[in-house]
Amino acid sequence: MAVINGGSSSSRVFNKMPQTQTGMERRIAEILIQELKLENVTPDTFDSTTDLVKELGIDSMDLTTVVLVLQGEYKVKFDEDSYPSLTTVRAIAEQIRQLQGASS
Q: What is the pTM of this model?
A: 0.80
- pLDDT (tens digit, 9 = 90+) per residue, 62-94? 999 999 999 999 999 999 999 999 999 999 999
The CATH class, in words, for 9-102 is mainly alpha
Q: Is it the case that residue 16 has pLDDT exceeding 60? A: no
- pLDDT (tens digit, 9 = 90+) per residue, 19-78? 567 899 999 999 999 999 998 899 988 999 999 999 989 999 999 999 999 999 999 999
Displacement of CA 3 from its chain's centroid (Å): 14
